[in-house]
Structure 1
Amino acid sequence: MTPAPEHGGDTAPPRRRARRFLRHNGLGLFFLTTFLLALAGQAVAGHAEFNNQLVSDGMAPLDFGAYLASSDFAVDVTENWQSEYLQFFLYIFATVWLLQRGSPESKELDRAGTESDQDQMAGRHAKEDSPRWAAAADWRGLVYSRSLGLVMGTIFLLSWLTQSVAGVAAYNEEQLRRLQAPVSWAQYLSAADFWSRSLQNWQSELLAVASMAVLSIYLRQRGSPESKPVGASDSATGVEG
């Protein structure tokens, strides 16, 4: 039996530690890597499309660095981010109270609501390894117990604000190319362009969440925690594989 290190340090060889790190963080690393690849692909394709539009308007094309710093690239990126975080924000808060019979995306049918401190291992029911703020009986416990939804909602609002600022700049650049008057930020917030960009992303994200909640009642993905066990009843609710 291998003795434990005296000071709690990790004495495994670096290669083994690296493999363990990749194994323990594979899900996050996979999606972060694919996000960066998709962002890079969007930048390359968006740069080509934007320059094609400039050339067709009789203007000089932008180099790649200038495009990355442009309002057009910023608005294209942030309009996708805000819709994703809106999806998670609504999902996190809606699933506190709303149920879907037979879905692993729902809580069990008798557990709607914020649940007791005992169920949530909060306050005086916190465990030794619980986060420090989970045991707090003051504002810290209140904030921490809702921190995931609050952070998701904050990122959504910041992304939406950034989209509106970048969007009005991109919109006014297009207006000037057409020899039309620019608009203010407040005017842009009520413009069809802003709401078209927002709503076309919102509807796709909300449809995807609804599809996941309902299709997971009847369909299975073996080994996935987003699915019920293969042999679970269609009516089993809040059960994960």
Structure 2
Amino acid sequence: MRSFVRNNSLGLFFGVLFVGTLAAQSVAGWQSFNDEHVGEQLGTIGYGAYVTSTDFAVAVAENWQSEFLQFLLYVLATVWFLQQGSPESKELDKPGLETDEEQKVGAYAGPDPPRWAALGGWRTRLYSHSLALAVGVVFLLSWLAQSVAGWASENEHRLEQLRDPQGWGDYASSADFWERTLQNWQSEFLAVGAFAVLAIFLRERGSAESKPVGEPHSSTGVEG
């Protein structure tokens, strides 16, 4: 067990943080929701009702979709785009998809490769892009969940105000929906771009996301 925890500590660490912060968000959101309803002279709801509500669903989904969009674009952008000096970039002479030999697929597969990497044909082609495909599917599903939950939440608020409900298309094309969506997107793009550039000049000893402390600023694609 000790060996398992050590060998998987990075994933476990972020898994615990995810569960803890999601739980804390649900409690804070529940209290904020009830405070708002008290101010509007509406009834409060229980914790269980809140975590199964559209308000909580949209609060969670709108952050998930922006995070997975960030990962999707980063995975795809780093295939072709380079950043001199950044450990987040490939080496400057290796833009693009690289050769089968460099990627160790098909006849060039090494010992104990992933099965689909060695089979060749459509399965190797599919597996060669499986990371972007998986992240892209999660992004699309999260975006869809955000739009549907937000639409349902907006219509609940409109009914409370004795206003007519609106269709999903109207909500998904509304300024309010896109203001919330783009607010999340721009913060993700800023964070990723800033990290790629800051890692050129700054170091974190022992981190796989940093170059070795004594590595020149110009070294590209080198990780500690």
Which one has a bigger Cα radius of gyration? 1
Cα deviation for residue 123 of structure 1 reads 0.9
Q: How does 1:151-190 map to 2 (within 5 A)?
A: 151-190=134-173
Which residue of structure 2 lines up, in the alignment, with residue 142 of structure 1?
125
SS in structure 1 opposite 2:155? helix
Partner amino acid, structure 1, of 2:119: A
Partner amino acid, structure 1, of 2:178: W
Partner amino acid, structure 2, of 1:238: G
Cα deviation for residue 182 of structure 1 reads 1.2
Which residue of structure 2 lines up, in the alignment, with residue 56 of structure 1?
39
Q: How does 1:22-61 map to 2 (within 5 A)?
A: 22-61=5-44
Cα deviation for residue 196 of structure 1 reads 1.4
Q: Does 1:205 find its partner at 2:185?
A: no
Q: Does 1:98 find its partner at 2:103?
A: no
TM-score, normalised with respect to structure 1: 0.92
Q: Does 1:81 find its partner at 2:64?
A: yes
Instruction: Report how many aligned residue pairs link the two structures.
Output: 224
Question: Matched residues in 2 for 1:50 and 1:196: separation?
Answer: 21
Say what the alpha-carbon RMSD is for the aligned residues.
0.7
With 52-61 and 156-165 compared, the bigger mean Cα shift is at: 52-61
Alpha-carbon displacement from aligned partner over 1:175-197 (angstroms, at most 9, x marks no partner): 12222221100111111121112
Question: Matched residues in 2 for 1:140 and 1:55: separation?
Answer: 57
Question: Matched residues in 2 for 1:22 and 1:142: separation?
Answer: 34
Question: Matched residues in 2 for 1:205 and 1:233: separation?
Answer: 28
Uncovered stretches (5+) of structure 1, i.e. residues with no partner: 1-17
Question: Matched residues in 1 for 2:25 and 2:215: separation?
Answer: 41
Q: After the TM superposition, list the runs of 4 or more consecutive aligned residues in structure 1 that deviate by more than 4 angstroms.
A: none
Which residue of structure 2 lines up, in the alignment, with residue 130 of structure 1?
113
Partner amino acid, structure 2, of 1:152: V
Uncovered stretches (5+) of structure 2, i.e. residues with no partner: none
Which residue of structure 1 lines up, in the alignment, with residue 95 of structure 2?
112
